[in-house]
């Protein structure tokens, strides 16, 4: 099967009782400092949570703009992401799949959940031997009565089926096997990903670096968001609480009344409190 013939994914928004989120445990494993040593003008970076997020996130709108700029030339897609919004991941996958020229995906660190869907759009998928690709069933946080939850579960089934088909076509295996991977939330290291057919080749070690200069406030915000998510706090409520801690701002930057050190200290105090 030609990789350009991989199936297009269709996904309609599910009821408001659900919002797709990155798996908190996956966020804990993600090192956001993993970067490519060099990136050309025809490189698209997917180095954040998929979808609108506290620090900006990777959205289909941004990817569409990048592809318009690159035009019909070969494109490289660098991925280090814990996943996120499934619908945004599907939209990005479809954009890359429809790109007229070759798409080379480079998994620098983690390509998990929705980010693994994006990775499947590559005509060629390269992965670092120390990198990981993770597949699982769609992960959501749902709020509502039992009828809402039953409806949400039923709505998720075709999305899981679509992902299983995608992974199976890519790896050349039966869909039942891909579904089994997803049911177990399977992590493939670089060698395993190549072995099973979810990646084609290895990235050289000298093409990847770890940027230790990620802003402390952003790290602290992510930690708080993860802990709150594990505690069952809704996305909108988490955004409200974190915005208040940052003086009402929508990002982790210093404000007129809170410099970066104060923001970090306040968020870290909250982290310790929530861990008790």
Same domain assignment for residues 80 and 109: yes
Range of the domain at 187: 11-210
pLDDT digits (tens, 9 = 90+) for 165-186: 999 999 999 999 999 999 999 9
User: What pLDDT is attached to residue 20?
Assistant: 60
Query: Please, which pLDDT band fits residue 40 given cuts at 50, 70 and 90?
Result: confident
First to last CA, the chain: 53
Query: Please, which pLDDT band fits residue 117 given cuts at 50, 70 and 90?
Result: very high
Inform me whether the pLDDT recorded for 253 exceeds 90: no
What's the length of the chain? 276
40 or 93: which leads in pLDDT: 93
Give a yes or no: residue 3 inside a domain: no
Tokens for 95, please give them: 């954009």
Burial 34-43 (b: 16+ CB within 10 A, else e): bbbeeeeebb
Query: Please, which pLDDT band fits residue 51 given cuts at 50, 70 and 90?
Result: confident
Same domain assignment for residues 206 and 226: no
Give a yes or no: residue 1 inside a domain: no
Burial 67-102 (b: 16+ CB within 10 A, else e): beebeeeebbbbbbbbbbbbbbbbbbbbbbbebeee
Average pLDDT in the 6-31 region? Answer: 68
Same domain assignment for residues 161 and 29: yes
Same domain assignment for residues 165 and 252: no
Same domain assignment for residues 34 and 85: yes
140 and 151 in contact (C-beta within 8 Å)?
Answer: no
Between CA 167 and CA 174 the distance in angstroms is 9
Average pLDDT in the 54-67 region? Answer: 88
Give a yes or no: residue 29 inside a domain: yes
Between CA 83 and CA 104 the distance in angstroms is 19
User: What pLDDT is attached to residue 4?
Assistant: 66
In terms of C-beta density within 10 A (0-12 exposed, 13-18 middle, 19 or more buried), how is residue 16 classed? exposed
Same domain assignment for residues 160 and 261: no
User: What pLDDT is attached to residue 238?
Assistant: 77
Same domain assignment for residues 183 and 236: no
2 or 93: which leads in pLDDT: 93
Counting the structural domains of the chain, the total is: 2
Same domain assignment for residues 188 and 237: no
Average pLDDT across the chain, whole number: 82
φ, ψ for residue 84 (rounded to 5)?
155, -125
125 or 223: which leads in pLDDT: 125
Average pLDDT in the 142-168 region? Answer: 85
Give a yes or no: residue 5 inside a domain: no
User: What pLDDT is attached to residue 11?
Assistant: 65
Contact partners, residue 190, CB within 8 Å, separation at least 6:
107, 127, 128, 129, 130, 131, 132, 199, 202, 203
Same domain assignment for residues 147 and 220: no
Specify the range with the lowest mean pLDDT, choosing from 45-54, 101-110, 125-134, 259-268: 259-268
Between CA 18 and CA 275 the distance in angstroms is 26
The residues facing 141 across adjacent strands are 19
User: What pLDDT is attached to residue 29?
Assistant: 85
């Amino acid at each position: 099967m030609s990789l350009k013939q991989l199936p297009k994914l269709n996904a309609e928004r599910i009821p408001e009782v659900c919002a797709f989120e990155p798996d908190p445990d996956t966020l804990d494993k993600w090192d956001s400092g993993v970067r490519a040593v060099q990136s050309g003008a025809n490189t698209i970076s997917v180095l954040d949570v998929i979808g609108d997020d506290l620090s900006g996130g990777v959205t289909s709108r941004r990817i569409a703009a990048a592809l318009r700029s690159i035009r019909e030339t070969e494109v490289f897609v660098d991925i280090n992401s814990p996943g996120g919004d499934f619908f945004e991941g599907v939209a990005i996958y479809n954009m890359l799949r429809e790109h007229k020229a070759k798409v080379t995906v480079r998994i620098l660190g983690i390509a998990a959940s929705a980010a693994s869907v994006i990775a499947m759009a590559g005509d060629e998928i390269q992965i670092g031997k120390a990198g990981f690709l993770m597949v699982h069933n769609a992960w959501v946080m749902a709020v509502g009565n039992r009828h809402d939850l039953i409806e949400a579960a039923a709505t998720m089934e075709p999305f899981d089926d679509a992902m299983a088909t995608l992974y199976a076509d890519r790896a050349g295996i039966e869909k039942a096997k891909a579904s089994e991977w997803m049911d177990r939330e399977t992590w493939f290291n670089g060698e395993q990903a190549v072995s099973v057919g979810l990646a084609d080749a290895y990235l050289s070690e000298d093409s990847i670096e770890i940027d230790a200069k990620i802003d402390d406030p952003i790290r602290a915000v992510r930690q708080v968001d993860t802990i709150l998510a594990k505690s069952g706090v809704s996305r909108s409520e988490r955004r409200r609480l974190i915005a208040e801690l940052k003086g009402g701002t929508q990002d982790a930057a210093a404000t007129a009344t809170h410099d970066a050190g104060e923001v970090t200290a306040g968020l870290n105090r909250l982290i310790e409190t929530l861990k008790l």
